[in-house]
Chain A
């Protein structure tokens, strides 16, 4: 079940109503939201629910023991990482091993072994790990009630593609009485509609009109069309993922929960480190707090910091997907971050170019991310040097308009958005709902036929 579908609209209409009905009873509300989250997840495959329950149980038990016993913390972290490794990376490692062994019988057997990737596993195992770590560090008190942890891990708005919510932010909210006022409703309406617009209009149409045809057949494209498709993919992935995050944050707000912002106009970043403070903020801050800083972070010699950056970003790349292209994408980001660190303060007048240079680097690094394998990456790079393409994809007015729209979203002053939100907040409740309904119907009408999956679902 994905957000921009009639199926989800009906599901949410029921859950929202029931959530209001039990608003005064915290225990019932908790039970309702856990049940709804498991129904939501079971819509993909009910067997995944057992896995999610197992991850929740490990996190709950690990959190209880983590403060007093180092082994409890270690064991639960190993189990959680092991679960993620098994379901997410098993196929990658067996396939890589089979390629290495080539013609042997073992290679044939290995290539037949397959594990299904449960949707959202990277997100909820990271939440589980952060819960155990925060308990071990004494930053939060472990929950005795396993259902508190179960709700934190499974809460459906952020279950399958984030934001990666911190227990310290989420758990105190489940103890508070339900309180959704006009400001929360207004913000939710704006977030949901802007998220649906980003996903159903900008991302999906850019994908069909420009990005997919060029990446499917780079051999026939010329440099201009390919460059536009790479820019188009940058806009597509931004609108796809930030659109999902907006909808998730909006839905959570309507249910009475606040999530952190996950994107902050990333394509206007003045450097790679600034980009990572604006892109998928919940993952960047997770990686900083639970990986980069424990590795030593910025402390130590320049060589040591470079190693920390490379290791952290390569693992961040691997988090995105089990493939050499994602590893390379992360490693190259690490390399670029290390280079940026080395020249910091020495760029002088060239610093005025920081925004376009950062955008160019980020877009160039999206190529291996999108192109799924080396041959595809090389074909796109080759197309970027070709003067004429014998079968170049036509650049249509709507495609150019969508690129302009996507760029504008990164450049328009935030106060404009705040002004719109302020206007919606001042509307009476019935008008807020009518606006949400009319906007949703219009966006469903404007969308293509069928349901395009979110890019980040595969992670």
Chain B
């Protein structure tokens, strides 16, 4: 049994995660503020996230996640 393909699988997952962050509005920022206090590294972590969020906002990336969500909910009557 081989293990080929796992690094590709991992790289694709991380690329997808970055794309999800870029095109999902402030979901990740909300998540970071909702997480439990990470102690000594909390300010450092939040600083990185806020800087990344500023960068994302500067690119003007659309919130595709919200649009996709709205479409799904309207189509299937999920309310």
Contact B9 A185 (CB under 8 A): yes
A430 to B4, CA, bound (A): 12
Residue of A nearest to B5 (CB): A429
Which residues on A sit within 8 Å (CB–CB) of B76? 398, 446
Q: Is A437 positioned at the interface, with any CB of B under 8 Å from its CB? A: yes
Contact flag A429-B6 (CB < 8 Å), given A13-B13, A437-B20: yes
Q: Is A23 positioned at the interface, with any CB of B under 8 Å from its CB? A: yes
Task: Count chain B CB atoms within 10 A of each CB in A398, A433, A442 and give the residue with the most.
Answer: A433
Contact A442 B13 (CB under 8 A): no
Which residues on A sit within 8 Å (CB–CB) of B3? 23, 178-181
Contact A432 B72 (CB under 8 A): no
Contact A437 B69 (CB under 8 A): no
Contact A429 B9 (CB under 8 A): yes
Task: Count chain A CB atoms within 10 A of each CB in B11, B12, B31, B68 and give the residue with the most.
Answer: B12
Contact B9 A430 (CB under 8 A): yes
A448 to B11, CA, bound (A): 29
The binding surface of chain B is classed by DSSP as helix
- Those of A172-198 within 8 Å (CB) of chain B: 178-182, 185
Contact flag A6-B31 (CB < 8 Å), given A20-B6, A178-B3, A446-B78: yes
Residue of B nearest to A429 (CB): B5
Q: Is A17 positioned at the interface, with any CB of B under 8 Å from its CB? A: yes
Contact flag A430-B8 (CB < 8 Å), given A397-B77, A442-B68: yes
The binding surface of chain A is classed by DSSP as helix
Contact flag A180-B17 (CB < 8 Å), given A7-B35, A205-B78, A433-B12: no
A209 to B44, CA, bound (A): 42
Which residue in B10, B27, B72 is a CB contact (below 8 Å) of A16? B10
Which residue in B8, B13, B28, B34 is a CB contact (below 8 Å) of A436? B13
Residue of A nearest to B7 (CB): A20
B27 CB, nearest partner CB in chain A, Å: 7
Q: Is A26 positioned at the interface, with any CB of B under 8 Å from its CB? A: no
Which residues on B sit within 8 Å (CB–CB) of A414? none
Which residues on B sit within 8 Å (CB–CB) of A145? none
Q: Is A168 positioned at the interface, with any CB of B under 8 Å from its CB? A: no
Q: Is B1 positioned at the interface, with any CB of A under 8 Å from its CB? A: yes
Contact A437 B17 (CB under 8 A): yes
Residue of B nearest to A438 (CB): B16
B36 CB, nearest partner CB in chain A, Å: 7
A182 to B9, CA, bound (A): 10
Which residues on B sit within 8 Å (CB–CB) of A398? 76-78
Contact B7 A430 (CB under 8 A): no
Q: How many residues of A contact B (CB 8 A)?
A: 35
Q: Is A31 positioned at the interface, with any CB of B under 8 Å from its CB? A: no
Contact A181 B9 (CB under 8 A): no
A437 CB, nearest partner CB in chain B, Å: 3
Which residue in B9, B31, B36, B78 is a CB contact (below 8 Å) of A433? B9
Which residues on B sit within 8 Å (CB–CB) of A181? 1-5
Chain A positions 430 through 459: 1 when the CB is less than 8 Å from some CB of chain B, otherwise 0: 101110111001101110100000000000
Contact B5 A446 (CB under 8 A): no
B41 CB, nearest partner CB in chain A, Å: 13
Residue of A nearest to B24 (CB): A441
A325 to B14, CA, bound (A): 46
Which residue in A7, A17, A441 is a CB contact (below 8 Å) of B14? A17
Which residue in A43, A182, A396, A437 is a CB contact (below 8 Å) of B12? A437
B25 CB, nearest partner CB in chain A, Å: 12
A444 to B73, CA, bound (A): 12
Q: Is A9 positioned at the interface, with any CB of B under 8 Å from its CB? A: yes
Q: Is A428 positioned at the interface, with any CB of B under 8 Å from its CB? A: yes
A430 to B12, CA, bound (A): 6
Contact flag A433-B1 (CB < 8 Å), given A205-B78, A446-B73: no
A155 to B7, CA, bound (A): 23
A455 CB, nearest partner CB in chain B, Å: 21
A-binding residues in B (CB < 8 A): 1-14, 16-17, 20, 27-28, 31, 34-36, 65, 68-69, 72-73, 76-78
Question: Would you mind naming 15 contact pairs between A and B with Cβ atoms under 8 Å apart?
Answer: A13-B13, A13-B17, A16-B10, A23-B3, A23-B6, A43-B36, A179-B2, A179-B3, A181-B3, A430-B12, A437-B20, A441-B65, A442-B68, A445-B68, A445-B72
New contact pairs (20) apart from A397-B77, A445-B68, CB-CB < 8 Å: A6-B27, A7-B35, A9-B17, A17-B10, A17-B14, A181-B2, A398-B77, A428-B8, A429-B4, A429-B8, A430-B12, A434-B16, A437-B12, A437-B20, A441-B20, A441-B65, A442-B68, A442-B72, A444-B65, A445-B69
Lowest 3 A-B CB distances belong to which pairs? A429-B5, A437-B16, A433-B12
